[in-house]
A and B are shown apart, each in its own frame.
Chain A
Amino acid sequence: MSDQVIASDKPLTHAERRNLAAISDIMIPADITYGVPGAGDELIQNELLLILRTQHQAIINALTCLDELSSGAAGSFADLVPPERAEVAERFRRKRGDLAAVLVSLTLQVYYRDDRVLASLDMEPRAPYPQGYQVESGDWSLLDPVRAREPFYRKV
């Protein structure tokens, strides 16, 4: 099987994908209390690979930087033991806040539309259209004190 992902014009290698999943999981880990997957979950990562095309170079730079920061240890970032990985991730965020911001932005865009995540937030996993949503009209008596006010626009 090919080592390449078809999802992007400029695909990530298997090693890069492992690093991406590892850093995503550090950013947003799975949580059994809320019944949510981590951002490194396979379905979420597949979505991430689909949208990272526009920021491809920044992602490659981020993953390369993670590997460089890991080089004293086992080699690849994904191969580090969890405490070392967390420590490298922290150093990465301090050193390359710009690249970390790109990673965060893309990860949030796919994580917070995942069915399981939305279900845990009591949100129906669907597009807004065509059902839409309900918004209460509200208590219009709140407006009474303002209605009582004299016109105050500036006369010219």
Chain B
Amino acid sequence: MAEDVVDVLIIGAGASAAALAFSLAETKMRIVCLEQGGWMKPSDYPSNSRDWESRQFSDFSISPNRRGRVTDYPINDDASPIKVANFNGVGGGTILYAGHYPRFHPSDFRVRSCDGIGEDWPIDYSTLAPFYAENDRMTGVSGLAGDPAYPPKEPVMPPLPLGKSGQRLAAGFNNLGWHWWPSDSAIATQAYDGRDKCINLGACVSGCAQGAKASSDITYWPHAIRAGVEVRTHCRVSEITVDKNDMATGAVYFDEHGQQHHQRAEVVVLACNGVGTPRILLNSVSSRFPDGLANSSGLVGKNLMFHPYASIQGIFDDELDGYAGPGNCIWSQEFYETDEARGYQRGFTFEITRGRGPVMTAFNGMFSGRIPWGADHHAAYRRLFNRITGMVGICEDLPEEHNTVTLDDTLTDTHGIPAPKITYELSDNSRQMLSFAVARGTEVLKAAGAIDVFSEAPIRVGGWHLMGTARMGKDPQRSVVNEWGRSHDVRNLFVCDGSVFVTSAGVNPTCTIQALALYIADAMKQRLANLFD
């Protein structure tokens, strides 16, 4: 029997894959997506149960190494001060993401031109603008028009509530004359596209039981599947195969019973994120591609960017939102653009993180020495409970070739596939920016009335943005894929996830990842007749 050949094989079913599959579905091509994880059940999310905070340390940990589900693969991140956070399943990282959903700024696509560092992107803000808008509609973005830090844009629904925490910090920003604005959020404040509105469960980063948070399993995927796309879950890809003409022929994968298969395809699209994608490319070694597939530039796995995060939290005298409400609230881009006088280049966004639950309050208090062991424990705890709010500073990470994803010499996943190894150093620029962010964050918290401030920089567990390891560009020697996501070396192989980022901007990436995936899909559709030329 002839082997089954699909038109498009997408590997990974996370944020980017969902958007790309949805967009390509209208072509009526036969599209199959292979995903190593499964579908999530909202009734399994921790906010359904009393141990919702505790489960963030076990089956809903953001660290794949700690979570250790059969659907996870191990990552050796010992050689990095920032540890990888992800989720493996339909929806990918969006299952656990906070849903902060900022766009890049026009200047983010022109870093070298603006500041003489990093690289320029081969596309610009105006290229992505229509795809940002389409993605906002598909996602159901809440926010408020008129932010002076951005070119005009129209959120789909009203912003999340300020709450007590947001008002406190807004007053602090106003006292200093600094910018702030309600955050663009992938959290519905109104019923939208079959999803219900946010009811302030406060557990966004362990999955939204209400379905208000726009994880891709409940936004794009149902539409893509209705349009004919097939998602095969519990299928882990080990390598992409090629023929003697340097064209991809499909992928080898293990199904949930450990059976190995080869899925043939006319076009292969990688969407496994900034760690999973280079891992597969580096594992796809053949005599024609001895250093890994699509790697003639030698840049596969290089230029890994995370976004070093600073956390700056204040303790207040009066009650704030505490455990109630989504973490998302307001943000500030007062320090977004380069000002050389600050001692570093590029910039960051402050995102207010609202509050925390009873267990996390105790953690913060005990591990920072503010809540003691013994008789004074209770009084000290009550000085913190519902009285902590603050922010994170998301610092732009610059591409540096020595920050890498490679293959570990010995570590493998349950199928024996070599696991990724992260080697990452915090640059001096990042260190300076982090300390500036901590200083300014402390200032604004004090201006808002905080009686005590504590910080962590970089956030050790905060490797949740995975970018840059198969970057796009026009020059095949300086990039892995071209300006519309196609490999320079293998003309029917595409990458559509965060790996293609050229620089990281000082904002969360998923809005841009998904807009890029729509743009790449559109570029493919425009060129269907001569896609491989």
Contact = CB atoms under 8 A, between A and B. Distances in A.
A143 B373 contact: no
Interface stretch (A1-9, A11-19, A69-77, A109-117): A109-117
Contacts of A151: 148-151
Interface string B324-348: 1100000000001100000000000
Given A132-B199, A132-B200, A154-B106, A29 B375 contact: yes
B156 interface: no
Given A137-B162, A151-B148, A105 B324 contact: no
Nearest to A132: B199
Q: Which of A51, A112, A128 has the most CB of B within 10 A?
A: A128
B378 A153 contact: no
Nearest to A117: B358
B378 A34 contact: yes
B203 A128 contact: yes
Contacts of B150: 151, 153
B107 interface: yes
Interface in A111-135: 111-113, 117-118, 121, 123, 125-135
Given A105-B57, A145-B174, A27 B179 contact: no
B405 to A, nearest CB: 27
Contacts, number: 172
Interface string B19-46: 0000000000000000000000000010
A129 B209 CA distance: 7
A65 interface: no
B383 interface: no
Interface in B53-110: 53-54, 57-58, 105-107, 109-110
A154 B105 contact: yes
A133 B162 contact: no
A94 interface: no
A26 B110 CA distance: 58
B167 A93 contact: no
Place the interface of chain B in its size category. Answer: 35 or more
B474 interface: no
Interface residues of A, number: 55
Nearest to A118: B358
Contacts of A132: 199-201, 210
Contacts of A28: 373, 377-378
Interface string A100-112: 0100110011111
Given A28-B377, A31-B375, A154-B107, A109 B161 contact: no
A142 B170 contact: yes
B113 interface: yes
A51 to B, nearest CB: 6
A89 interface: yes
Interface in B192-208: 199-203
A150 B179 CA distance: 11
B48 interface: yes
Interface stretch (B256-264, B310-318, B359-367): B359-367
B396 interface: no
Interface in A134-156: 134-140, 142-143, 145-147, 149-156
Closest 8 A-B residue pairs measured CB to CB? A132-B199, A138-B162, A133-B324, A135-B325, A112-B358, A154-B107, A129-B209, A109-B54
Interface of A: 26-29, 31, 33-34, 36, 51, 54, 86, 89, 93, 101, 104-105, 108-113, 117-118, 121, 123, 125-140, 142-143, 145-147, 149-156
Interface of B: 45, 47-54, 57-58, 105-107, 109-110, 113-114, 124-125, 144, 146, 148-151, 161-164, 166-167, 170-171, 173-174, 177, 179-182, 199-203, 209-210, 321, 323-325, 336-337, 357-359, 361-363, 366-367, 373-375, 377-378, 382, 385
25 contacts: A27-B377, A104-B367, A108-B359, A108-B362, A108-B363, A108-B366, A109-B51, A109-B359, A112-B362, A121-B382, A127-B52, A128-B202, A128-B203, A129-B47, A132-B210, A133-B199, A133-B324, A133-B325, A138-B166, A139-B167, A143-B144, A143-B170, A146-B174, A151-B151, A154-B105
